Structure 1
Amino acid sequence: MDSARSGAGTGRGTGPAPRRAEDVPPVPQVGRYLLLRKLGQGGMGVVYAAYDPDLDRKVALKLLHPNANHDNEEARSRLLREAQAMARVSHPNVIPVFDVGMWGDQVFVAMELVDGGTLGSWLKEAKPSWREVLERYLQAGRGLQAAHEAGLVHRDFKPANVLVSRAGRAYVTDFGLARQVGDGPETASSPEEARLLESSDRRMLDTTLTEAGLLVGTPNYMSPEQFRGSQLDARTDQFSFCAALYGALYGTRPFDPGSIKAYVSASRSAEVEADGTQSLGGTQSLNAAPAKAVIAPPPALIREPPRDAKVPGWVRQAVLRGLALDADARFPSMQALLDALSQEQRLGRRRRWVGAAGAMTTALAVAGGVAWQQSQVCADAGALMDTVWTRDAQARLASAFRATGKPFAEDMAARATQVLAHYAGAWKDQRVRACEDTRVSGVKPEEQLDRQVVCLERRRKDLRATVDLLTRADAALVEKSVDMAHALPALHECEDVESLAEQQRRPSDPALRGEIEGLEDRLSEVRAQVDAGRYPAALAAVKALEAPVEKTGYLPLKAEMRFHLGWLQEQTGQSPEASRLLSRAVFDAEAGRADRLKVAILNKLLYVEDGQKHFDPAANWGALAEATLQRLGGEPVLEADVKVNQANLAISQGHVDEARKRLEEASALYDKALPPEHPKRARTLFLLGRLVLGSGDAKGALPLLESSLARTEAAVGPVHPDVARRHGLLSLALREAGEPERALPHAQAVVDLYKRFHGDKSPQVAEALDELGMCQLGMKRYDDALKTYEQALALKRELLPADDEGLQPSYDGVGQALLGLGRARDSVAPLQQAVSFASAPPDALAESGFALARALYQTGQTPEARAQARGEATRARERFTESGLDARVGEVDSWLQTLPQESPRPPARKPPRARRR
């Protein structure tokens, strides 16, 4: 077997085995990968441990065997198709493929390097109980199910093709190719079986590739349809899976391959006699039904499990059904088999519980007593949440919100309460289920419950910190409250038992564990303050935790502390220090195997480096985040978060198309993973609409901005500053799309909302009036526009200094409205004021300058006045050019061409010089 694993040929705790000459790679490098040592080989291929310098990680690199004497083109095709097959499956229990390419004239495949051995070697070394065996096979089965969902059939499932990491996660690998070094060939129990194995091995290497590039199989695990050479489907893998599980549970093989071969031969002969035809091999398809035998199988073909085996009957029944010689008699899918192997355990335990209790009392009393017992064992498992999310907390939150006097306070209190209540309820449900799965049904081991409880307890602390902050909310916090509630760490992470198992274990010392738990409380408070935007207070709090967290040596905690500290340094203008701290946090998270935290840190690091124009490092951090997510098997929200910052990076470098693609991908991921009212869904559409609008595609931006407005109202209600911002950009987009009449109600909505938020006399209201006036100008409602701009100008003169740049749009609007009314002479003064603000944006000055040019020309009675008008038009043209507004440049040119050429004035005659006498 060729497998993506490390640790081959080593014992536990004994260090690496001596390096043999045959394990030394023949070349030092393949592509960018540096070869370290050989891990495995077989008839067609060889696997090396390698180092990827670009991403600073070890990988398993699969290559064709350098001395292979088979057809090279076919071998290359087989390896490439295997890589394609594996790449189609993204699942935590399938080895991920990182890269595939050509080196010289052959294909290489780079995969994750697993720090463990095969499932077969684990069975020999660990001597596991039947529960542990079943747990590993259930993981592998989930990997097979993922392959089936991707349209693939493995066709060679066996213990040697499953890897088990040191953390206990099982990975299905080798969708066809060689054996692992040291595993040796399949052993035969009889001369007949030896001949069968030998001929089958040769046949496997010579078999024509299917569309998925998968091989025929290994005799000890092959189904009758594989021996028959007929079409295969997912039930073929089910048979091989159960054959392997049978051997792991009972220590013996379920059948003799020679007997299966004889049975297949007899079946084929009977078919030929019946209809004169013979089954032909064909392309493997997930949906193809295998050919059915027409004679009954001998009753003893599949051996009965040993009677003294301590394996429950419901497991035995499921395994034997999966080993049915007739594929139609097996489970309809891999998932159905997995359900039988996992969920039926609950029924089995409950029956045994009822039976044991029945020996002590009457059947009726016991039935009632057992039902009561089951309901009470975990009844209080979620009770701790009742100390956090209480009626008193809800009342204090509502009271604090009302006290701010904000017009949206009541609505935000209700919405935040709803999100928090849902989170608390989901926490309780998960906590009770976790207890029941261990203490009632027994489908999860106690160690797994411990990890899940630790994770859930941390989430309870996070909720408590958020609730405490919201019950003391000020106006700024009310505005952010729904975002804060939605920002609570996801609860589903506590159900990812594989990821939790891989993280660094907590210390066994009770005092140190207690210290860590106390520090987690305080870090939860820091996290809540960060989400609330209270950066100075959060920075002071996390700095006080730096030394005690370092002292614990607990890596996930250190990573979290540096994560917050680094991000807060960025928020307070210390970007270089932020980069240093976040980089250290990444390595802490990697060492502690806190993968989700690592991705969150990498995303912030991407943002910080982008802000410093360190574009290449920023891109590399983003790529590492993507690779980590791939190892996790996908995490839509985290992936979307990364894509948003990758879009920002693309914008910084002027790559608008790339930025748009990233935001579209992020939006699709959020839509898939988040509820409709989640603020991130609305915000990403808003960012995408703004990007499209900024690229000059106003019409393309409209559906995005309209959808963003609707989603924002669903998230925070119709009265909220975010809603005002959505209306404002939508008004601008509609104007630029040439639809000022549709823009007008959105502009008016901004005015109305800002009056509610800030009062009638505020700079925000004045700015909103400017946008309203722009809509009225576009509709040629000059009287209305003049009144609107005069109101805006009066407010600004009262609230702002005379030289404040914010006055420029209002002066411009007054002048433009007067010019539209035919009052050119009156428009000159406000337009001259508008162009006097040299710090205003060039496009704004260009608009004012062009209007001033027209006004001056209309009122100019002298050549000097008309020349002044030409000069203003020329300056406006330069500013339009600077702003990239080519259409407006053309308008200025057209206007200048309509002007008559001024005749040069004759020079003034000089008076005659006096004669000297």
Structure 2
Amino acid sequence: MTKRDTGRGGPGTGPLDSARSGAGTGRGTGPHAGRAPEDVPPVPQVGRYLLLRRLGQGGMGVVYAAYDPDLDRKVALKLLHPNAQGDAEEARSRLLREAQAMARVSHPNVIPVFDVGMWGDQVFVAMELVDGGTLGTWLKAAKRPWREVLERYLAAGRGLQAAHDAGLVHRDFKPANVLVSRAGRVYVTDFGLARQVGETSSEESSPEEAEVLQGADRRMLETTLTEAGLLVGTPNYMSPEQFRGTALDARTDQFSFCAALYGALYGTRPFDPGSLKAYASSQSVEAEGTQSLGGTAPLTAPIPAAPPPALIREPPRDVKVPAWVRQAVMRGLSLDAAGRFPSMQALLGALSQEQRLGQRRRWVAATGVVTATLAVAAGAAWQQSRVCVDAGAQMDDVWTPEAKARLESAFRATGKPFAEAMAQRTVQVLEQYAEGWKNQRVQACEATRVQGVVPEDQFDRQVVCLERRRKDLRATVELLAGADAAVVEKAVDVAHALPTLHECQDVEALAEQQRRPSDPVLREQIEKLEGSLSEVRAQVDAGRYKAALAAVKPLEAPVVATGYLPLRAELRFHLGWLQEQLGDSPAASQLLSRAVFDAEAGRADRLKVSILNKLLYVEDGQKHFGPAASWGELAEATLQRLGGEPVLEADVKVNQANLAVSQGHFEEARARLVQARALYDKALPAQHPKRARTLFLLGRVMRELGEPPQALAVMEEALTQTEAVVGPLHPDVARRHGLLSWSLRELKQDDRALPHAQAVVDIFKVLYGEDSPQVAEALDEVGMCQLGLKRYDDALKTYERALALKRKALPADDEKLQPSYDGVGQALLGLGRARDSVEPLTLAVSFASAPADALGESGFALARALYETGRPPEARGEATRARGRFSEAGMDARVGEVDSWLKSLPSEAPPPPARTPARPRRR
């Protein structure tokens, strides 16, 4: 596998180079044949992206349709103009700002950003490719009814609202910066002018941005992104505060939004940019003080009088648009920001009055309130605004102070040193999950019952999804409230394994799933079975496999009887994975395969990806590499249809990396893990266990690729992350130290390995006791480091201590005794006590079930000891046997050393008086 170009150099050659000869005329025979010359990309490739055609051009850069060969998908790639205004660092800052701003907003109506990077001296941003045009071109394509226009703008407004919720102001909202797919989905894009709320156009980068861009050239962070006196935005849609260059907040975008909507509805501009600029310039900065972030007007602020007609024009009378739409648009165009709506959400609510009024009429009719007095109407509006206040209250029955106290008490009762730290971290994760559930439940209610922007059937699906997540949390809380020591060790993982709440926000995916039956009895049965499967899932996540299998088997028949395919897929998913964990991989493959088809038939795509990922793992374990790869590719294809799910995608890439390692394809494994790491870093909190595990695995793969310094740095970073996740006294931390010690010894860096080996001993003493078998095994690794440093006295004491502990706890024929016998013998041989070393080394080679490499090392040491004690024939026999074991283990270098030693022996001569130094055994 060849290394891919990182894309940091200048334009290189690529698969599209053959089309370059036709670029000048557009009449070549390559992929660009027949296109206008200006639409043909000037170069075939930017980084790893293959350019296909130009899509558009703006003041900052050119956008191309491109192909990403790594992820096998088309993207829109924005490339900064080589001759962009300002110096190169300012240009780079603008585009990096755009990528940063857009990447911070995750919403169906905001264009997703996939990648950002440098190509030579230019910056590129890769985004989702939308198969349509801009909102401006959509408006020009045909005469649109006002309802259809309003529907598109409401969707765009929700994208803006999501940006505002993330603390951003777009500053350049216009129809050209909104995309409409062929299916009608709306995306807000071009956040190149986005700012933190409250920033003026002349401020430097915020501390948050500096933190995100840390490591970049400091001059870039200190570059002012707007020159003095330079207008930022598009004049036809700019607010007065933008013309003035004063502080901006979300109401700035509200003005631009209403200016664009005014033009779309009435076919004319709401104001003359020149006149508005002159008006803005004539106003003193002091008069605008209330427009700053700290001076935002309260919700009850009076609405100023209408602006002069010469500035904001009254809409044409001959265009049939409802008065409530006109009133909302005109309020959003108030010259004074305090006179606009307090938020985009409030504006969108006002523009959704048709839906809301219809719902209100039905509500009023149902309650018998038919009076038209202002007092009653106001009372009805107030009551309606309160209907969602308690929408999240159901969570208070699951995550309660009593539940938290029971969990903490159960953890403390285990007596584990890490119990307090694990309780604290676990509670934090559960509280965040419960709070996220409540917020999402309230928001879903308000979007339907108050704002009227979400249909009832969509709301129903969200409620069903959220109710299932509540059951999942209940099952996890109950499990953790009765935790034993083994569960406490895994508690943070169990909490993080809760199914994502994000799925309940994906209304498109929810709508595609198999609908639940209308029969209320059957629906109730499904809900009850879901609760039982939630309990099974919690048991599986906690590693209680036998208990989980006992609980899930009785559910199989009733689940199948419901005919509800997503539920059947989930049941077979758990059954299959439990079979794998209990040692029956063929049965696991069969059950998981059936679960995949159930999930496909039920359109449960996220569940399908999770099943496919486990199936990939199971087939890999059976060395069925072809089928494993196919399941992984199917998971990728499903994710592509979903539009990207970072955590699920990263999960798949980790198992694909393991598959590559199984086949010795370490370059591929590294590439997969690098991608997985980037996805996890973007989507998961800093202390999520998956981030540390993936990083450590990446370090081990890098070591196999012959990059020891880089590999060790990555593994040490993973150790630091692990300590942050679970605390310093946790078995996972000990495992990281142990593997670091082993890796350093392999590199002959025993002095660096020894502290890690000793750290394992220290942790195990606290966790399991001074005289535990775990401490004895950890002492073996300390002894190995001491042998490598030729500290034979220390090594002898260490191994004798390990051997004494093992003899107390283990039977005489237990294979775990072998490394300690070997260590005692190796240390004695190193001290020149060859005669004393023969007995422990003879015992070390007597464990026939021990690994071949271990027996080879013990046997070769025994051969040298026998020779030094005057027993050449026995020495030759042991050396020959050791050679065979080295050969069996694939250790060709050690085979050669044995051969050289045998050849060095005289045919018939007494043994040499000088002792042969002991060679540390490799493990």
TM-score, length basis structure 1 = 0.65
Where does the alignment leave 5 or more consecutive residues of structure 2 unmatched? 1-25, 43-50, 56-64, 68-73, 78-102, 115-127, 190-234, 238-253, 273-309, 361-368, 911-923
SS at match of 1:385: helix
Partner of 2:640: 630
Check if 1:525 corresponds to 2:535: yes
Residue of structure 1 in register with 2:347 after alignment: 344
1:774: Cα distance to partner?
Answer: 1.1
| 1:866 matches 2:866 | no
User: Corresponding residue for 1:647?
Assistant: 657
User: Quick one: structure 1 residues 298 and 482, their matched pair in 2 at CA, closer, same or farther if it must change by over 3 Å?
Assistant: closer
> 1-side partners of 2:142 and 2:457: how far apart?
20
The 3 A distance-change label for structure 1 pair 144 and 164 is farther
From 886, 889, 894, give the equivalent of 1:880.
886
Does residue 784 (structure 1) correspond to residue 791 (structure 2)? The answer is no
Corresponding position of 1:587: 597
Q: Is the 8 A contact 2:580 2:588 kept in 1?
A: yes
Aligned to 1:828: 838
Q: How far has the Cα of 1:385 moved from its partner? A: 1.0
Q: Deviations over 1:410-431 (max 9, x none)?
A: 3322222222122112222222
SS for the counterpart of 2:603 is coil
CA change 1:318–1:633 in 2 (3 A) is farther
Q: Note the C-alpha offset of 1:244.
A: 10
Instruction: State the distance in 1 between where 2:236 and 2:388 align.
Output: 47
The answer on 1:428 being equivalent to 2:438 is yes
1:254-653 matches, cutoff 5 A: 306-309=319-322, 312-313=325-326, 316=329, 344-346=347-349, 360=374, 376-653=386-663
Which structure 2 residues correspond to residues 729-808 of structure 1 after superposition, within 5 A?
A: 729-808=739-818
1:88 equivalent in structure 2: 76
Q: 1:130 touches 1:311 (CA, 8 Å); kept in 2?
A: no
CA contact (8 A) 1:243 1:253 kept: no
**In the aligned structure 2, how far is the partner of 1:801 from the partner of 1:753?**
25
**In the TM superposition, what is the alpha-carbon distance from 1:847 to its structure 2 partner?**
1.8
Would the aligned equivalents of 1:247 and 1:254 in 2 still touch at CA under 8 Å? yes
Aligned equivalent of 1:163, options 177, 182, 185: 182
Percent identity reads 65
Measured against aligned partners, the alpha-carbon deviations of 1:860-914 in whole angstroms (never above 9, x if no partner) come to 2xxxx2343344334434443443445545544554565455479xxxxxxxxxx
Offset of 1:81 from its aligned partner? 5.2
CA 1:163 to 1:869, structure 2 compared with 1: closer, same or farther past 3 Å? Answer: same
CA deviation string 1:819-851 (max 9, x = no partner): 111111111221122222232222212222222
Report the Cα offset of residue 386 of structure 1. 1.0
Q: Specify the SS of the correspondent of 1:780.
A: coil
SS at match of 2:182: strand
Q: Is the 8 A contact 2:595 2:611 kept in 1?
A: yes
The CA deviation at 1:816 is: 0.7
Contact 2:152 2:186 in 1 (8 A): no
Residue 248 of structure 2: aligned partner: none
The residue correspondences of 1:186-265 to structure 2 (distance < 5 A) are none
Quote the RMSD (CA, aligned, Å). Answer: 5.3
Q: Cα deviations across residues 684-718 of structure 1 (Å, max 9, x unaligned)?
A: 22323334445665544322222222212111111
Measured in 1, the distance between the counterparts of 2:594 and 2:342 equals 43
CA distance in structure 2 between the partners assigned to 1:571 and 1:707 by the alignment: 30
1:279-331 deviations in Å (ceiling 9; x for gaps): xxxxxxxxxxxxxxxxxx9999996772443662366459999xxxxxxx9x9
Q: One-letter code of the match for 1:163?
A: R
Q: How many Å apart are 1:466 and its aligned residue? A: 0.5
- 1:815–1:831 CA contact under 8 A, matched in 2: yes
**CA pair 125-71 structure 1, distance change in 2 beyond 3 A:** closer
- The answer to whether the Cα contact below 8 Å between 2:174 and 2:257 also exists between their aligned partners in 1 is no
Q: In structure 1, the residue corresponding to 2:390 is in which secondary structure?
A: coil
Kept in 2: contact 1:245–1:319 (CA 8 A): no
Q: Which amino acid aligns with 1:625?
A: A
Deviation at 1:488, TM superposition (A): 0.7
- Counterpart Cα distance in 1 of 2:317 and 2:750: 81
Post-superposition offset of 1:253? 6.0
What are the superposed Cα offsets for residues 94-119 of structure 1, whole Å, 9 maximum, x if unpaired? Answer: 99999xxxxxxxxxxx99999xxx99
CA gap 1:127/1:348 in 2 versus in 1, 3 angstroms: closer
Distance change in 2, residues 1:667/1:158 (3 Å): closer
Residue range with higher mean Cα deviation, 428-437 or 721-730: 428-437
Q: Which residue of 1 aligns with 2:682?
A: 672
1:819 paired residue number: 829
Q: CA deviation at 1:538?
A: 1.9
Q: What is the aligned partner in structure 2 of residue 910 from structure 1?
A: none
SS at structure 1 position matched to 2:711:
helix
Larger radius of gyration: 1
Q: Aligned pair in 2 of structure 1 residues 472, 301: CA closer, same or farther (>3 Å)?
A: closer
What amino acid is aligned across from residue 608 of structure 1 in structure 2? V
Change (3 A) 1:700 1:888: farther
Q: CA–CA distance in 2 between the matches of 1:304 and 1:536?
A: 75
What does residue 103 of structure 1 align with?
none
Where relative contact order (Cα < 8 A, 6+ residues apart) is larger, the structure is 1
Please list the CA deviations of residues 435-477 of structure 1 after superposition, one character each: whole Å capped at 9, or x if unmatched. Answer: 3333344444444433322222111110000011112222211
CA distance in 1, matches of 2:647, 2:777: 36
Distance verdict in 2 for CA 1:727–1:141, change over 3 Å: closer
Distance 1:127 1:73 in 2: 36
Q: Which ranges of structure 1 fall in alignment gaps of 5 or more residues?
A: 1-43, 46-62, 99-109, 174-222, 226-237, 256-262, 264-296, 322-328, 332-336, 905-917
User: Could you say what secondary structure the match of 2:717 adopts?
Assistant: helix
Q: 1:698/1:842 Cα in 2 relative to 1: closer, same or farther (>3 Å)?
A: farther
In structure 2, the CA distance between the partners of 1:586 and 1:135, relative to structure 1 (3 Å rule), is farther
- For residues 173-211 of structure 1, give each alpha carbon's deviation from its aligned partner in whole angstroms, at most 9, with x where no partner exists: 9xxxxxxxxxxxxxxxxxxxxxxxxxxxxxxxxxxxxxx
| In structure 2, distance between residues paired with 1:573 and 1:125 | 63
Offset from partner CA, 1:317-374 (integer Å, 9 cap, x none): 59999xxxxxxx9x9xxxxx99987562247789999xx99974699xx8xx999868
The count of aligned residue pairs is 708
Secondary structure of the structure 1 residue equivalent to 2:66: helix
Equivalent residue letter for 2:698: L
Q: Give the residue type in structure 2 aligned to 1:344.
A: L
Matches of 2:792 and 2:631, distance apart in 1: 53
Secondary structure at the counterpart of residue 312 of structure 1: helix
Map 1:889-900 to 2 at 5 A: 889=895, 891-892=897-898, 895-896=901-902, 899-900=905-906
CA–CA distance in structure 2, aligned partners of residues 619 and 338 of structure 1: 54
Residue identity matched to 2:838: V
Q: Is the CA contact (8 Å cut-off) linking 1:815 and 1:828 kept in structure 2?
A: yes
- 1:742, CA displacement in angstroms? 2.8
> CA contact under 8 A between 2:384 and 2:449: conserved in structure 1?
no
CA distance in structure 1 between the partners assigned to 2:129 and 2:562 by the alignment: 35
Q: What's the counterpart of residue 56 of structure 1?
A: none
Equivalent-residue separation in structure 2 for 1:786 and 1:64 (angstroms): 72
Structure 2 distance, partners of 1:656, 1:834, is 34
Q: 1:104 maps to what in 2?
A: none
